[in-house]
Amino acid sequence: MNSAPAPVKPKAVNLLDFDRKGLAAFFAGLGEKPFRATQVLKWIYQEGVEDFDQMTNFSKPLRAYLHEHCHIAAPEIVVEQIAGDGTCKWALQTSCGNRVETVFIPEEERGTLCVSSQIGCALACTFCSTARQGFNRNLTTAEIIGQVFAAQKRLGAEKKITNVVMMGMGEPLLNFNNVVAAMNLMMDDFAYGLSKRRVTISTSGVVPAMHRLTEVCDVSLAVSLHAVTDELRDQLVPINKKYPLRELMEACRANAKIAPRRTVTFEYVMLDGINDSMQDARGLIKLLKTVPSKLNLIPFNPFPGSIYRCSSSATINRFKTMLNDAGIVTTVRKTRGEDIDAACGQLVGQVEDKSRRRFGNRSTGSERAA
């Protein structure tokens, strides 16, 4: 991997902020042909080149211009933790001094990277540690795709990122344009070239943005459901008060119509005595029967100050059996990285809260320097 170039002017254009369409427009503004965009993508994402002098199919005047006015800058990994199961969690420093967390989950035939879209989260889901940190700002496209860039650079050639899930800190659909541009880069044949089935965006139910996503970006959709009644979902996922279950399921049905055999993945955290009864299971069967779907049951991952407990293994298995018997493909998500707080709902980063909510616990716990 090539070393980073010398520091550039603060107002330099970060080329990681552009997908191929954006890069083509940028180069067109310089009087260059649109194919320069594909050349840059290949240099950055396939060759790992960050030094414009090494982009040998560019003219010397163009390289000089890029040196003067542009740079390639991903967030810096400043903390690394490795779990007993091999899961890696990185804290990445952003330009404003806050940190976001990114998790790599190695498996036998794939490597999944869980990417953040915001610094903190404004949705205040009560079972999620990220929500306790408050909200600072949206991440830029460069800070989103930069997590993939920095992670792959750290992993090296022997460990390949094969799947990306937008399930880290934040609500991706509240940072729509930047997230879509980053996902375009993930799927672009001249960048990371991932299949649309291997790029997943998770949402808590921002319904207007779900409809918009259906029109502009064909990626896999995961929906954080967690309750089968508006009354309970209002408590667990407060955005439900604005976009209730009826509207959410309508948006899911619209997404499932994009392609034949398209399914929507629903995520359902298992909370002891809250949403794990057989009545809840029957409610799920009724709710999901109109949407081609798969269901992920997520054992609740505890964090300091949480009011919830995880459902027992016996309860989760009974719940799963009832759903499967009703014809809904249901799996229990294996908890990974729990010993380093890298499991689902545990990412916290370092957030200077600029929302009206204030919470005390903002540390990432025991960390070792990268």
Active site members:
101, 344
User: What is the largest distance, in Å, between two alpha-carbon atoms of the chain?
Assistant: 69
The one-character DSSP state at 365 is: -
Alpha helices in 43-112 (DSSP H): 60-69
Contact 146, 362 (CB under 8 A): no
- Helix, strand, coil percent values for the chain (each to nearest 5): 35, 20, 45
Number of residues assigned to the chain: 370
Contact 45, 194 (CB under 8 A): no
Contact 61, 211 (CB under 8 A): no
How many C-beta neighbours within 10 Å does residue 352 have?
Answer: 15
- Which residues on adjacent β-strands are paired with residue 271? 310
Q: Is the alpha carbon torsion for 64, 70, 74, 76 positive or negative? A: positive
Nearest to 242 by CA among 288, 206, 287: 206
| Tokens at 38, concatenated | 């594909």
Q: Is 31 helix (H, G, I), strand (E, B) or coil?
A: coil
Amino acid in position 342: A
Alpha helices in 174-288 (DSSP H): 176-187, 207-216, 230-236, 245-256, 278-288
For 274-306, letters b (16+ CB in 10 Å) and e give bbbeeebbebbbebbeebbbebbbbbbbbbeeb
CA distance 43 to 38: 9
Give the pairing of strands 329-332 and 135-138.
Answer: unpaired
- Which residues on adjacent β-strands are paired with residue 77? 92
